[in-house]
Amino acid sequence: MDELNGRMMACQILVTGLIAHVANEQRDPLRFLTDFRDEIKAVVNGVNIAGLENSDRVRQVAQLTIDELFSLMKPPSAE
């Protein structure tokens, strides 16, 4: 289980870096990040989670993870 958690953290770091890189290429990076976050949340709300009687907890953890990832991103420096 620790190996899986480590891999998930690595994927989260990679995705966060990729999103930040793409955002820095945009004219308005904060608006891009906000719109992208909202799109990801919409996907999580609509995705079908098979094999579980109650997928609400999985969906809630996914939403919290999205919020956590985007809260770690800071606006670009003024330099």
pTM above 0.75, yes or no: no
> Does the pLDDT of residue 76 top 60, yes or no?
no
Confirm if 61 and 5 have CB atoms less than 8 A apart: no
Q: What is the DSSP letter of 26?
A: S
Confirm if 36 and 21 have CB atoms less than 8 A apart: no
23-41 pLDDT, tens per residue?
888 888 878 888 888 888 8
Q: What is the mean pLDDT of residues 34-57?
A: 81
